[in-house]
Structure 1
Amino acid sequence: MPGRDPRGTRGRRTAPAAARHDDRRRTFPAPEPLTGTQPASSWWGHAWVEALEDTALDQARLTRGRAYAGRGLVDSITITPGRVTAYVHGSRPRPYRTEIRLRTLGDDEWADLLAAVAARPEHIAALLDKDVPHVLASVADLLPAAGDLIPDCSCPDDGFPCKHAAALCYQTGRLLDQDPLVLFLMRGMGERELLAAISQRNVTRSAAQRASDAGTFPTVDIREVLARGPLPMLPPPFPLPAAPGRPPAYPQAPDAPDPLALDLLATEATARAHALLTTGVDPIAPLTAWQDAVRLAAAHPGSGLTASSRALYRELAAATGRTPTTIARAVAAWRQGGSSALTVLESAWDPPAGPFDRARPALVAAGFPDFRPRDNHLSTATLQLRYGRDGLWYGYESDAGRDDWWPRGTPNSDPVEVLNTLLGG
């Protein structure tokens, strides 16, 4: 790669290995680049895309957003009730936090929709087969119409939508093609909650039908049961579950804590308790209070100094004596490589001769002669490689002329591979 400019194209964030499932918060891997002439293939996917296109004030931004989706610049997509969130790469080193908001359904609307699904077995079969019957769309506002989708982005473009939001919208249409139950999550009900509600209505309807067919049920006087003698011993306790339980769904209410934050803390508590019961080891015990705060913030959906996480970072900053920017940078490091990456971010050191000294000749041979050493760092104006005590290299980026380094990419024992990841190679 002779002559390649390290200040060139920025690479994509590495996608998770698999989709992360949570009933009211699901994160899907970074989608493949958009191809073909249609951004969605299902009728409900088309309805999603058309809802934003029909509201767009600038068709040119839609075209650029379609191009961004075609270049694979949309990172992993997180779906929560009323919100679709992703990082979308643009011209700057750090990606923009982009989201699309929509209204969640009210209790009466859910009651009508669930009743319509449970009333016909073929509707349940269609949903389980990843299909959405057209009749369900007319029962409640399951599918968005023009004006229902509200885009927002941390970029400076005030277009409606900007190209980053348009790219996210197009990739979300493809996501809906693959899993239409995500529509129900967007409107406020997770997959497990949805299937449980449908099942409950089926049981109620079946019981009512049997009662109607058989008349009154026979009864037994409780005094006769007690007169038969002592009750048998209780059965032994259930064995420990194979996985932690799921917390309840927390509603959004005025002046109440953030339901996603409550869900996050409850999920963390159940996972920690399950580990203690099954292994006798507390997985959080080795961490300092600061490391645990960063770990929790890194598990929170979304990151960066944007609307949904500013409050969390401000609270953590007040509790730990740091600034929100420091916490955001620490979160980026934790997502890069856990506690080891956080140590690399916060501690410079003088590495012994060996892999660190061999890194510069390897970079020169690969066409990158401009890196200069300092402590355990090799730097250009916009790129930096940091050597950790674990023998791995960690990538960093900064805007030219600023000493503002942010973790990027995946750690690797080969500095050239880390640099190629930063440059998208």
Structure 2
Amino acid sequence: MNRARSTRGAVPRHDDRRRSFPQLVPRSAPDGRFAATWWGNAWVAALEGSALDPARLARGEAYAGRGHVDAITVTPGRVVAYVHGSRPRPYRTEIRMRTLGDDGWERFLDEATARPDHMAALLDKDVPHALEAVAGLLPAPGDLVPDCSCPDDGYPCKHAAALCYQAARLLDEDPFVLFLMRGRGEQELLAELARRNTVRSAAESGAVVPPMPTVTARTVLAAATGSLLPSLPPELPVPDRPGRPAVFPPDPEAPDPLALDLLATEAAARAHAFLVTGHDPVAVLTPWQDAVRLAAAYPGSGLTASSRALYRDLARALGRTPTDLARAVAAWRQGGPDGLAVLEEPWDPPAGPFDRARPALLAADFPAFRPWRNRLSGESLQLRLGRDGLWYGYESDAGREDWWPRGAPDRDPVGALAGLLRR
């Protein structure tokens, strides 16, 4: 009884090898294909290459398009969902596939860490075409084995085809779903990729740490009895760059290893900057500015599957929304702390550059802009004058006050808008 009471409020353990996804609303790619990525279409091609009845495939694609596939659960070697058909009760449908053995994963990990651009692509939820050659990673015709509780003995039945089409959407959003199907969870893979990348980088650098100057304890004790103490050894030289953080393997009882890696990397960068300059550039930032800086430094552009969790957690911690953070990140990438201030702090500029901007824009054949404090607004373009004397460009859909930072700042308002229109 006491044991049951003590575990009642325990936090559930994270299962890296089981992921569930809510019901999807599919969208076809612009060229009419069901999937948008090359690996998603490889999954669809494996289904269609082994199908015995094109009519059942067409029915399955229509089922997927009408939202007949409920939540999908992915575990190693299996994709399962309930699919609604013509009867009131849905059918339990699954797709089975072979998982990769240790040798297959060794080949994949060796290829993935052989080049830095492969690592960067995987962290940004993209699969380089070079990894397509890794044997057994992508399914081939005959690799996907359908099974369904319906009475149809087609291969596959329309319910299994619908599940397979929807699974392609999951792969589009996050290729780590494919790796999970093949037997490895995301956190497990990321930890191993990080470990191998660290080992490879250390081997390539070939750096040799010089021995640290020392003073023996015997010398110090002898000097303390009557002589002057020996001089201290010279200070060690400051390294050229911050050190790499340790590798944090996943542990259900520990914090997220990616979050630990981010914090360790930040601490190393700040310590190195302080050693070199005697100044900590982050110490003067507010918590919100620091959160924006962290999100802006995250690899990749825009909100990918891998960055959504970071944006969500940072925004929630500061009482903001992920959209607020995404807009602030765009401002930070546009002009750093000054760009963020331009986004969030309207002010009244003195006469001079602001007053001369409107006739200069009219002379350059731009439509008339409405002035308000440090802002000049048009139908879908806006300029904001920063306290640093630079003009910052913004865009919005016509008729909406939903302004987003765009382009590079410029001391000339015409130049700021011209650079914006060249994008």
Normalising by structure 2, report the TM-score. 0.49
Q: Which of structures 1 and 2 has the larger relative contact order (alpha carbons within 8 angstroms, sep 6+)?
A: 1
Larger Cα-atom Rg: 2
